[in-house]
Amino acid sequence: MSVPAVAEVVSRQPVRHICELRNNYTNTEKYTSNVNNKLVTKERNAKERRVECSNWCNVCNKSFSSRRYLKLHESLHKGECHFSCGVCRKKFMTLTILKVHQRIHSGERPFSCGVCYKSFTQLAQMQSHLRTHNGERPFSCDVCKKSFTLRQMMMRHLGTHSSERPFSCNICKKSFKCSGSKWKHMLVHSGERPFSCHVCKKSFSQKSHLKSHLRTHSGERPFSCHVCKKSFSQKSYLKSHLRTHTGERPFSCHVCKKSFSQKSYLKSHLRTHTGERPFSCHVCRKSFSQQATLKKHLRTHSGERLFSCNVCKKSFKWQTSLKRHQYDHGRIVHCHETFVRNVPHVSER
């Protein structure tokens, strides 16, 4: 009997080849045969079905139909940017990416949702948005099985299972778990703020920051607490608020082990150990560990009096001064409640 006749296919399963720089997937099929006790492995490109191809990338082994496309792809690895925007002069690696970027300036949003009619600059954004209507979550984590509507969200989530931070800033060497976080960080160095508010003209480096800012004008509070129904303008505010109900304190000091419900509270607390005083008065140069303390101190220079007596309308710089004053009226204010002081009666002579 011939060798092909006795060859037994042990396994046939899809395998993905991943380009480390671009995260592009090229599906291949892997066939393993056991012939004369020798393991023979053959990989075949499932998309192109080409046995031989001369246009292979030496970095990520991705193949292309022409030398021109290969050269364009290789520029991605080299970081070459040949296409520049005529408005902001920002440079891009491909003409396609440039055309998508130009829609930021033109306001063009050619792709719209058939359900809510929300429009988008890219087809992929609209397709991802549609999952908010149908509930589809096609990307799942191999570790904890949590599912996501976007592949980028799943890849970002995978970083929570690993301490690896492979993407680093070329300027300050700060490292990040995903490339998207790195590129957002780079805007800190460039100073670029392409997203501006149409109401107050304030500009932002990220579109999400602009979206959050716009709620200060509209008063929108889309995130509400399921316990007390209190609403918030940002999801992060709601997340922090929920800890007041659960009692969770996930941020702990590595020096004294004291724990806090918010990361900002921990950051402020750490200054009690380091002695750092990053907030300084522009008038007398006195420095403080807390920004709130600096604001109080500035009243000594400005003469601002924020606290006024509801009896005689006299105003004070400090709330403690107001409380002492109200005690003289026979009324004590504490925790937003007003109490009447028992004043001993003095008989007239």
Beta bridge partners of 211: none
Task: Give the span between the Cα atoms of 225 and 241, in whole angstroms.
Answer: 8
3-state secondary structure of 3: helix
User: What is the per-residue pLDDT for 312?
Assistant: 86
> Which residues lie closer than 8 Å to 235 by C-beta, 6 or more apart?
223
User: What is the per-residue pLDDT for 256?
Assistant: 93
Which pair of tokens denotes residue 288?
A: 């403080």
Range among 4-8, 55-59, 199-203 rated most confident: 199-203
Same domain, 103 and 191: yes
Beta bridge partners of 306: none
- Residue 163 belongs to a domain: yes
Identify whether the C-beta of residue 147 lies closer than 8 Å to the C-beta of residue 135: no
DSSP string covering 104-147, please? HHH----EE-TTT--EESSHHHHHHHHHHHH----EE-TTT--E
User: What is the per-residue pLDDT for 14?
Assistant: 38
User: What is the per-residue pLDDT for 10?
Assistant: 33
The larger pLDDT score, comparing residue 69 to residue 200, is at 200
In the chain, the number of structural domains is: 4
Mean of pLDDT values over 142-150? 87
pLDDT band at 150 (very low <50, low <70, confident <90, very high): confident
Instruction: Choose among 26, 14, 60, 23: nearest CA to 154.
Output: 23
Asked if pLDDT for residue 43 goes beyond 70, the answer is no
Identify whether the C-beta of residue 104 lies closer than 8 Å to the C-beta of residue 86: no
User: What is the per-residue pLDDT for 100?
Assistant: 87
- Residue 175 belongs to a domain: yes
Phi, psi angles (nearest 5°) of residue 50: -100, 135
- Residue 203 belongs to a domain: no
Asked if pLDDT for residue 166 goes beyond 90, the answer is no
User: What is the per-residue pLDDT for 54?
Assistant: 66
Percent of the chain scoring above 90 in pLDDT = 5
User: What is the per-residue pLDDT for 136?
Assistant: 87
Mean of pLDDT values over 149-157? 81
Percent of the chain scoring above 70 in pLDDT = 79
Same domain, 20 and 114: no
- Residue 229 belongs to a domain: yes
Can you give the CATH number for the domain in which 245 is found? 3.30.160.60
Which pair of tokens denotes residue 219?
A: 């008063």
The larger pLDDT score, comparing residue 81 to residue 336, is at 81
The dihedral through the CA atoms of 138, 94, 178, 203 has a sign that is negative
Q: How far is CA 220 from CA 172, 199, 258, in A?
A: 37, 15, 35
Same domain, 91 and 172: yes
**Mean confidence (pLDDT) of the chain:** 75
User: What is the per-residue pLDDT for 228?
Assistant: 93
Same domain, 117 and 183: yes
Same domain, 35 and 18: yes
Range among 13-27, 66-80, 320-334 rated most confident: 66-80
Q: Which amino acid is at 343?
A: V
Identify whether the C-beta of residue 117 lies closer than 8 Å to the C-beta of residue 109: no
Asked if pLDDT for residue 32 goes beyond 50, the answer is no
Same domain, 156 and 185: yes
Task: Give the span between the Cα atoms of 192 and 101, in whole angstroms.
Answer: 14
Beta bridge partners of 223: 232
- Comparing 17-26, 178-187, 304-313, 326-335, the range with the smallest average pLDDT is 17-26
Same domain, 106 and 178: yes
Same domain, 258 and 327: no
Beta bridge partners of 56: 63
Same domain, 13 and 65: yes
Same domain, 92 and 185: yes
Same domain, 103 and 171: yes
How many other C-beta atoms are found inside a 10 Å radius of the C-beta of residue 231? 14
Range among 61-75, 175-189, 231-245, 325-339 rated most confident: 231-245
User: What is the per-residue pLDDT for 165?
Assistant: 82
Q: How far is CA 121 from CA 86, 107, 118, 214, in A?
A: 18, 8, 11, 20
- Residue 213 belongs to a domain: no
Residues 244-268 have pLDDT tens digits of: 899 998 889 999 999 998 888 888 8
- Residue 322 belongs to a domain: yes
Q: How far is CA 321 from CA 298, 313, 328, in A?
A: 17, 13, 11
Asked if pLDDT for residue 19 goes beyond 50, the answer is no
Beta bridge partners of 12: 31
- Residue 218 belongs to a domain: no
How many other C-beta atoms are found inside a 10 Å radius of the C-beta of residue 300? 14
Q: Which amino acid is at 6?
A: V
Query: What are the start-end ranges of the H helices in the chain?
Result: 3-6, 67-78, 95-106, 123-134, 151-158, 179-190, 207-218, 235-246, 263-274, 291-302, 319-328
Task: Give the span between the Cα atoms of 224 and 168, in whole angstroms.
Answer: 36
- Residue 208 belongs to a domain: no
3-state secondary structure of 15: strand
- Comparing 222-236, 293-307, 325-339, the range with the smallest average pLDDT is 325-339
Same domain, 133 and 172: yes
Q: What is the pTM of this model?
A: 0.41
Full domain range(s) for residue 332: 305-340
